Amino acid sequence: ENEEDANKELAEDLIAIVTSFAARIYGQRGKKHDSDTG
């Protein structure tokens, strides 16, 4: 397997984790505009 592919997978995993983490934090904060994103 390519090392580049492995790094790409790792980066995508990190992005997914950070995104869900940030979404959770922002969801708990001010709910100024209603969004049906869960």
- For 2-38, write each residue's pLDDT tens digit: 999 999 999 999 999 999 999 998 887 766 666 666 5
List CB contacts of 37: < 8 A, sequence separation 6 or more. Answer: 23
| H runs (alpha helix) in the chain | 3-28
CA distance 8 to 33: 34
Q: Which of 25, 35, 28 is nearest to 17 (CA)?
A: 25
Q: Pick the more confident residue, 10 or 1.
A: 10
CA distance 22 to 17: 9
pLDDT at 12: 98
pLDDT at 25: 87
pLDDT at 33: 62
